[in-house]
Amino acid sequence: MDLLSFRYAAFVLVTAFVFHLSPVKVRPITLCAASLLLYGFYSPVSAGVLLIATVGVFVGARALDTAEVQGTRRRILLTTVLLALLSYLFLIKLLPILHEHGRALSTRYFLVALGVSYYTFKLMGYAIDVYWRKYPAWTDPMGFVAFATFFPQLPAGPIQRAYEFELPADERTTAELMRFGFRRILLGIVKKTIIADQIGAMMAYIDGLQPQFSNLNWIAACLYALQLYFDFAALSDIAIGTAAVFGIRSPENFAHPFFAPSMTQFWRRWHMTLTFWLTDYAFTPLRMATRNLGNWGLVLSITVNMVLIGLWHGLGFGFLVFGLIHSVYLIADSLTGGARRRYYRKHPFADKFTNVIGPFLVFGMVAFSLIFFRAVTLPNTLYQLRHIADGLKAPLSSLQTFYYGFSRLRCGLVGLATIWLELGGYMRSRNSKFMALFPRFSALPAAVRWAVYYVAIATAATLHQQSVHFIYVQF
C-alpha cells in the first residue's frame, strides 16, 4: 500500500477515528489490530513473525526482570532473545542476495518484511534496557504489542524507545498533537512530491545521458544526497505526523544535517534515532571494553559502529564501503578534535570560518560516500568513480548543460521549496535575526495559511502522478 495513496490516508483516518472513540483501556487493542492488519496486507507470514517476536520479547523481558533469573541465566536468556531477532533480520537481508543467484524465489514473494530493521532494533533495545535494569519490564502485554507494532513507524522508523512510547490520556494535548500531525503530514508530502521526486527525475535525466555526458555525474552525486535526505525526511515527517494524529509523540529523526560543520555533527543530526541507538547499544559498550587500548580502541569502536550502520541498510559491497568511508571520516574528526579546539581558541576567526565552510565540505564528503550507497554493484561504482571528476574541470559549463537540458520550471520549483523549507527552517532554529524580520507561518492570517495549504495540496496531488516509492522503505 503506497504511503501517499488515498487508500492509506483512508486507513489512517478510519483507524484514528475508531481509536479516539474507543475507551482508554481498549485503545491498545485497537492499535494492535490496525497495525497487524496493515502489516498483514503486505505479508501475512511476516505479520505472524512480527507478532511472535513481540510476544517472545515481552515474555523474555518479564523473565529478565524477575529475581529467579540471575547471573549466567540472565545473560543466556538475553543472548537467546537477541540472536533470535538478529537471525531473522539477517535472513531478510540475505534474501535479495539469494534472489540474485536464483534461489529462495518463492520465499521472497510472501516474506516481505516491511521495516524489519526498525522493529528489530526497537525490540532489541527494549530487551537490553530491561537487562541493564534501566526500567522495569512492561506488565501490560497489549500496550507492549501496540508499541512494537505501531504501524506509522513500521516502514522506516523513527526507532522509538519503549520508555518514550505513551498512549494519549489528556484530550487537550491530544487535540494539539492532532493539529500538529496533519500539518506535519502535509509537510512530508510536499518534501516528497515537490522536492525529492523532482530531484529523482533530474537524476533519471542525467542517467539517460550516459556515457556521452559523463561531465554531469558530479551533479548527480550531489543531487542524490539531496534526494535521499528529502525523501527520508519526508517519510519521517509522515510517520511523526501520523503518530501525532493518534496523540502519540515520536522522536525526531533529522535536525538539518547538511548544515553541520563537521562529520561528527552530521551524524548527530542525520537519522538520529538509528545513530543514537547504535551509540548506546554498540559503540559505547565496545568503547568501554577497549578503553585500555587508547586511540586504537577508539578507532576500532568507530569502525565497527559505522560498518554496522552501512550493513544495516543491506548486505552489499556498496553499503559496506559506505560504512568504512564514514568510519575514516569520523576517526579523523575524533583524533584531530583536541588539536583543532586548541588552535581555534588561539584563532577565533578560523573557528568562525570553519563553521561557514564546514557544511560545504561535509556535503561533498557525504555525496562522495553515497556514490557507493547508490551504485550498489562494483561495475556501477567503478564507472561513477572514473567519471566523477569529469565535470569538475569546468563546473559552470556542466551546470549550464544540465540547466538548459532539463526543465527549468522544475529546477526553480525545487530550488524555491528547498530554500523555503530547509534554509528557512534552519535559520529559524538558530534564531536568526534575518528571519525575525518575517512573521512565522503560524502568525499569518488564517486565510493566508489556508491558501498555502490548498496550494501545497493541489501541487502535491498534481505531482503525485509522477511519484515513486520511498527509498528508505526498502531497508
Asked whether the beta carbons of 277 and 118 are under 8 A apart, the reply is: no
pLDDT at 419: 84
**How would DSSP label each residue in 28-45?**
HHHHHHHHHHHHHHH-HH
> Mean pLDDT across the stretch 222-250?
93
Residue 325 is predicted with a pLDDT of 95
The pLDDT of 297-307, averaged and rounded, is 94
Query: In this prediction, what percent of the chain has a pLDDT beyond 90?
Result: 42
Residue 413 pLDDT exceeds 70: yes
pLDDT tens, 329-376?
999 999 998 888 888 888 888 888 888 899 999 999 999 999 988 876
Amino acid identity for residue 408 in this structure: R
pLDDT score for 269:
94
- The answer on pLDDT for 394 being more than 50 is yes
Q: How confident is the model at residue 105 (pLDDT cuts 50, 70, 90)?
A: very low
Amino acid at 167: L
Round the average pLDDT of the chain to a whole number and report it: 86
Per-residue pLDDT, 65? 87
Q: Which three cell numbers stand for residue 461?
A: 496531488
Higher-scoring residue by pLDDT: 462, 105: 462
Q: Determine the Cα–Cα distance for residues 38 and 149; give it in Å rounded to an integer.
A: 10
Contact assessment for residue 306 and residue 373, using Cβ atoms and an 8 Å cutoff? no
pTM over 0.85: yes
Q: Once rounded to an integer, what is the mean pLDDT over residues 404-418?
A: 80
Interval 60-74 mean pLDDT: 82
Please name the residue that has the C-alpha cell 532473545: 81
Residue 173: pLDDT band with limits 50, 70, 90: confident
Per-residue pLDDT at 466: 59
pLDDT at 80 over 60: yes
Segment 130-156, tens digit of pLDDT = 999 898 999 999 999 999 999 999 888
pLDDT of amino acid 467: 60
Residue 107 has pLDDT above 70, yes or no: no
Q: What is the DSSP string of 115-170?
A: THHHHHHHHHHHHHHHHTTSSPPP--HHHHHHHHT-GGGTTT-----GGG------
Q: How far apart are alpha carbons 463 and 456 in whole angstroms?
A: 11
What's the mean pLDDT in 21-37?
Answer: 91
- The pLDDT of residue 109: 44
Number of CB atoms found within 10 A of residue 426's CB: 16
Q: What does the pLDDT read at residue 102?
A: 52
The CA–CA distances, whole Å, from 342 to 36, 118, 326, 336, 351 equal: 55, 40, 24, 10, 10
Residue 312: partners with Cβ closer than 8 Å, 6 or more residues away: 117, 274, 319, 475
Residue 104: the pLDDT is 46
Within 13 A of 148's CA, how many CA atoms are on the CB side?
26
Cell numbers 522536492 correspond to what residue? 195
Over residues 38-47, the pLDDT tens digits come to 888 877 888 8
pLDDT classification of 385: cutoffs 50, 70, 90: confident
Provide the strand spans (E) within 136-284. Answer: none
Phi, psi of 118 (to 5 degrees): -75, -50
Q: Mean of the pLDDT values across residues 223-246?
A: 93
